[in-house]
Structure 1
């Protein structure tokens, strides 16, 4: 069965005659299937991270192999129509923004973390594949939005959400010089999204969840993935150079802010596209 047919099967929302525990387990099963399908790029990419040996493959450095595999996965998703060209443009934007942040964070004056291995595809000390780690977050949100038929109730004004997202991104740079204002920005986001609810459809019935809770949960799973990445030596924080240790729990908050930024970018792009279609 092709992935396109699997998607059609997962998105079939015809009413089911289910009740009680039977409905609960069926919805839970479909929720898990849709989550797994939404994580297709994430799963394939991190499987590459885990499986490619540190010594590389056939004389090609690990960082370079990971870039080749990430490009192949991305091309395959577009070729199989699992992602549209518009979605690819959005994901590419995530890649650029993420790579710019990586370059800043590993620079000589900052050195928040490092990529210690050699590679032909490293620019300013950062391997090009690293941007795909941020693109993976965007890919997950885009896929989940479609598969779960996401709708947002009480979404804050788009310009305000966009402004907070921009300030969050800038804070990742400026906190080294002007102070860390993430908690002030998080408080602003809390106020903006306090009434926002995400409506999603695991099977044939709409379910609801506070949007803020979804940001926190996704941020937690990214934090777990970051622990896996550092465990396998893809990158290292200064406190992990001598021996590996768990990534500080405070990074969970940073990833949750990144999720808010990613969601805001996608939501605003969808909002703009919707208005363009209406104008036409």
Structure 2
């Protein structure tokens, strides 16, 4: 069983107390499982939620004439959040190593995309690379943090998961297309089709507490992409960055961006899978009673 952090142990301990002697298929068991699912999803999002809260707070309350530029303050806030997660053992070192990969991959994309004008960052500051404030990489790290945490929190298992080298090739092509489509044909339609062929038969097993839910892995990609799109709208409203159509005033981000986030999910899953190899559903682990239960 993967090691739980203290908060995760408390969630499981709460479920254990509520489900003691309760039939697995009754309404009370379903209600408790639903609450546990929501709590674990919220906990998996903690890094991204904290960073998004800092971005919104900076828009609403950070003084324009402060000695420390707003963008630099956000960089320090992001570093502080990451540091606190490790110091208080709310995140494992192994998870942090995966998150670092997301940070590097994301920052490289940000530098390129801002250079070609796909979006812009406003405001001053010194903590940046090629005009890209360093907090941008933490936004990708937030996605990585969510991915590795749900893998552990829900003891994810996979049936008919494709060979990892095939998924790695697909992820590399997706990443390359984010750059190359500015000069050659945008072949994301081909990438969407390849994704459905490669992952179309894969089923994901999600253990909540006692209950295990099965769902097509592609459905989970769409769901996560949607919530990233929602967070993106909040981030652009808070002036964390701007798309060209938002320069004269904030407007909702196009739904077409869901496709980009869907493809980014493939890259995210592949990165996590190289650190946490996908496991089959055979012998799906039952919950281990928290210490002191």
TM-score (norm: length of structure 2): 0.87
Question: Cα distance 1:253–1:74, how it changes in 2: closer, same or farther (>3 A)?
Answer: same
For 1:183, the equivalent position in structure 2 comes to: 189
- Please give the root-mean-square deviation of Cα atoms over the aligned residues, in Å: 1.8
For 1:228, the equivalent position in structure 2 comes to: 234
Distance 1:134 1:239 in 2: 22
Distance 2:46 2:254 in 1: 27
Distance 2:64 2:86 in 1: 27
Q: CA deviation at 1:271?
A: 2.4
For 1:90, the equivalent position in structure 2 comes to: 98
Distance 2:165 2:12 in 1: 31
For 2:49, the equivalent position in structure 1 comes to: 43
Q: Deviations over 1:104-137 (max 9, x none)?
A: 0111xx1011002111112211001100110000
Q: Deviations over 1:200-222 (max 9, x none)?
A: 11121211111000000000000
Flag the structure with higher helix content: 1
Matches within 5 A, 1:14-53: 16=20, 17-18=22-23, 19-52=25-58, 53=61
1:136 maps to 2:142: yes
Q: Deviations over 1:29-62 (max 9, x none)?
A: 1110000110110111111011114546842111
Distance 1:189 1:140 in 2: 21
Q: Which has the higher contact order (CA 8 A, sep 6+)?
A: 2
SS in 2 for 1:176: coil
Q: CA deviation at 1:76?
A: 1.1
SS in 2 for 1:198: strand
SS in 2 for 1:112: coil
For 1:80, the equivalent position in structure 2 comes to: 88
Q: How many residues align?
A: 268
Q: CA deviation at 1:173?
A: 0.2
SS in 1 for 2:183: helix
TM-score (norm: length of structure 1): 0.91
Query: Could you tell me whether the CA contact under 8 Å between 1:219 and 1:255 is conserved in 2?
Result: yes
Query: Could you tell me whether the CA contact under 8 Å between 1:220 and 1:252 is conserved in 2?
Result: yes
Unaligned runs of 5+ in 1: 273-280
Query: Could you tell me whether the CA contact under 8 Å between 1:11 and 1:148 is conserved in 2?
Result: no
SS in 2 for 1:271: coil
Query: Could you tell me whether the CA contact under 8 Å between 1:57 and 1:65 is conserved in 2?
Result: no
Query: Could you tell me whether the CA contact under 8 Å between 2:6 and 2:89 is conserved in 1?
Result: no
In terms of mean alpha carbon deviation, does 50-59 or 253-262 score higher? 50-59
1:265 maps to 2:278: no
1:166 maps to 2:172: yes
In terms of mean alpha carbon deviation, does 262-271 or 220-229 score higher? 262-271
